[in-house]
Every structure is written in structure tokens, then in C-alpha cells.
């Protein structure tokens, strides 16, 4: 009998799988590559909401768990996917400059916001009011992480690329039978694919489609991330990732001309050099209406769990939520109210 079947090998599934393995638990991961949102994610992490200059929920706690976990995975797989890189927030007015200084003076934000504005010109970047530097920032090459972690699982016979069949689950008193597998628990970390899950598809998981571009700009010698109404992330070899759009209506993974046009117009406003679009891709982020993740056990089948709703901040949230869920299952530690799906069930009198 294995401890955990994990359905989904995106960021959430990988974080839970690695924590389980580190704690000597047995796992089997199912992933049929039907949900591309982790692979096409921007991959940036920063502890500040740069639109409003406010702290990301539990930012300090998230980073304290994320950095060691990603480092351990890098060492295990012998490749680097976590790259520390500065993020410069382009300031659009004197008012934004003042708001930046006020935010940088707050005790909870001071560790994350430089109190000195960047006023020197950055070649081919349009900015009249300078930049604010965000600290403790970086970029995860999520697609490479998923590919390498999948190969690791496959090599160790811990991975199955078959589509998970919900109707094949048989519930017994002390375990779950899934085809020829007996497991103590199943963790569903399916991203937007949760809508096809009959056990959890009643949860308020929305979806926000995001479109991104890879561009080539030979004259743009940029070594840091620029954030304005879009982000511009250097990938090396004159390539840059540009993102992202937010569409709450379209739930497909198909790139659109409208999304491409929006990104190109914003990019032309940000940079003053020529560029060529190399790639255009899209995916649906697993967002939640109350902006909090969905974590916890099913109201009826207690050994079925959900780990979802990471939204736009999965790089930071993944390790934090996976750790909480693992400790909830193995040590009976309570989940935080803000993330616990009991908040949904209580409104429906199911708990």
C-alpha cells in the first residue's frame, strides 16, 4: 500500500511529492499533460503586489519554505531552475514615487522594497519617473522543473502518464483502491482540470486565462526584470518573456490575436527598440473568487484531498500550501482558515 496517489505534476503536485519523499512516504504521480498552466507560467516570484505596493499574503513565511525546497530539488536533480534576478517596478508618476517611499517605510514591506529609487536610464526602456527595486525576487524555469522532475519520477517508477479515472476509485474503510493500487490518500493537484473532478468540481475555482510572448530583441541588453503593466523577463540569447494578459471569460488554452495585440501594444510603449515575436502561448490559471487557495479534505471522503487555487503566485504558494497539507494529513495540524475548503463547505452546511 502506498501513502499518496498524487494527481497532477504541476508546481503544486511536485511540491507535495517532494515533501512526501523527503519524509519517507511512498507516492505515485499521475499526469497526462492535459493542463499546461504551470508549464507556461511566467515563473516570476516577488513578495509584493506591485500594482498597489502591498505585501503578498504570508510572503515571509512562503519564502522561508520555498527557497530551501527548491534548493533541495536542484541538488537532487543536479540542475538549476531557480534564478535570483532583480525586479524593477517602473514608476509612472510622481504620485507613484511617493507611494513607493511610503510603502518602503512600512515595517512589513521594508525587507522587500528598496528605499532608494533607481533614476539612471536603462537602455531602450522608456521611463520618466525611474524605478523601484523589489528585493527577494527571482524566476523559476517552471517548464524545465516539470520536465526534469517528471523524468526523475519516471526513472524511479513513481510516475504514470495515464489519464486518471475518477470512476475507478473504490472506497474501503481504511484505504482507497484504484485499479490494482491501494493507497491511503489521494491528492488532487490538477489546476484548472479540477472542473472535471466529480469530487471537487463544486469548489469555487475560477480560471483566468493568461497569454505570453517570447520575443527576440538584439539591442535590448537587459539583465533584470522590468515590471510595468506587463513584465519583461530576460531569458538569455537576446530572448525575453513578455506577459501577461488576464481574461476571465475565455477558458481555453488557445492563443488569441487579441491577446497578442494587447501584449505588443504594451511592449511598444515600454521599450524603444525593434523586436520579433518568436512564440505566443496561453494557459488558464487556477484562480479562486475569494483570492485564497483551495486546500483540504473532501466533506464525505476524508482521504481525498485537494491542493489547488495557486493562481498567479504558484511559485511562492506551492511549497507553503503543500507543507501545510502534508502536516495536516500526517501530524493532524490544522490548516489555516484562509486556505481551508471548510470555508466553502460551511456555507453549504456540509461540515
Give me the CATH code for the 208-285 domain, please. 3.30.9.10
Helix (H, G, I), strand (E, B) or coil at 67: helix
Please state, in angstroms and as integers, the Cα–Cα distance from residue 184 to each residue in 25, 27, 331, 340, following that order: 11, 10, 15, 21
Taking a C-beta distance cutoff of 8 angstroms, is the pair 19, 154 a contact? no
Say what the pLDDT of residue 41 is.
74
- Quote the pLDDT of residue 11: 94
Residues of the chain with CATH 3.50.50.60: 2-41+143-205+289-347
Where, residue-wise, is CATH 3.30.9.10 in the chain?
A: 208-285
Closest to 112 measured CA to CA, from 46, 199, 186, 30 = 46
pLDDT at 289: 80
The mean pLDDT values, 10 residues at a time, for the chain of 351 residues are 96 97 98 73 90 92 97 97 96 96 95 94 94 95 94 97 96 94 97 94 92 96 95 95 92 94 96 96 88 94 96 93 98 96 86 58
C-alpha cell at 102: 511610503
pTM of the model: 0.94
Look at residue 42 in the predicted model and tell me its pLDDT.
78
pLDDT for the residue 348? 78
pLDDT at res. 183: 98
Which class would CATH give 2-41+143-205+289-347?
alpha beta
Can you tell me the distance from the alpha carbon of 194 to that of 294, in angstroms, rounded to the nearest whole number? 11
CB 161 within 8 A of CB 33: yes
Amino acid at each position: 500500500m502506498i501513502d499518496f496517489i498524487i494527481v497532477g505534476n504541476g508546481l503544486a503536485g511536485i511540491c507535495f511529492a517532494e515533501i512526501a519523499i523527503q519524509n519517507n512516504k511512498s507516492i505515485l504521480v499521475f499526469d497526462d499533460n492535459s493542463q499546461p498552466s504551470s508549464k507556461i507560467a511566467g515563473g516570476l516570484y516577488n513578495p509584493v503586489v506591485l500594482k498597489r505596493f502591498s505585501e503578498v499574503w504570508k510572503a515571509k513565511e512562503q519564502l522561508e519554505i520555498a527557497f530551501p525546497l527548491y534548493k533541495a530539488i536542484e541538488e537532487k536533480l543536479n540542475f538549476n531552475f531557480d534564478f535570483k534576478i532583480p525586479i524593477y517596478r517602473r514608476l509612472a508618476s510622481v504620485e507613484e514615487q511617493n507611494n513607493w517611499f511610503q510603502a518602503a517605510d512600512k515595517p512589513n514591506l521594508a525587507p522587500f522594497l528598496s528605499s532608494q529609487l533607481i533614476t539612471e536610464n536603462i537602455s531602450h526602456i522608456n521611463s520618466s519617473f525611474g524605478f523601484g527595486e523589489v528585493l527577494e525576487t527571482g524566476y523559476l524555469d517552471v517548464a524545465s522543473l516539470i520536465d526534469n522532475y517528471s523524468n526523475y519520477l519516471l526513472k524511479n517508477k513513481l510516475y504514470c502518464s495515464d489519464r486518471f479515472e475518477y470512476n475507478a476509485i473504490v472506497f474501503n474503510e481504511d484505504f482507497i483502491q484504484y485499479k490494482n493500487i491501494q493507497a491511503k490518500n489521494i491528492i488532487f493537484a490538477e489546476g484548472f482540470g479540477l472542473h472535471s473532478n466529480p469530487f471537487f468540481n463544486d469548489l469555487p475555482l475560477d480560471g483566468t486565462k493568461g497569454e505570453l510572448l517570447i520575443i527576440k530583441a538584439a539591442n535590448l541588453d537587459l539583465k533584470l526584470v522590468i515590471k510595468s503593466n506587463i513584465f519583461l523577463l530576460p531569458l538569455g540569447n537576446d530572448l525575453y518573456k513578455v506577459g501577461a494578459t488576464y481574461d476571465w471569460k475565455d477558458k481555453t488554452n488557445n492563443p488569441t490575436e487579441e491577446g497578442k495585440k494587447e501584449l505588443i501594444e504594451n511592449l511598444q510603449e515600454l521599450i524603444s527598440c525593434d523586436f520579433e515575436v518568436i512564440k505566443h502561448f496561453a494557459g488558464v490559471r487556477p484562480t479562486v473568487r475569494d483570492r485564497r487557495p483551495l486546500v483540504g479534505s473532501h466533506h464525505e471522503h476524508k482521504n481525498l484531498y485537494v491542493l489547488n487555487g495557486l493562481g498567479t503566485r504558484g511559485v511562492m504558494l506551492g511549497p507553503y500550501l503543500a507543507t501545510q497539507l502534508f502536516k495536516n494529513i500526517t501530524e493532524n495540524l490544522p490548516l489555516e482558515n484562509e486556505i481551508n475548503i471548510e470555508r466553502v463547505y460551511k456555507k453549504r452546511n456540509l461540515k
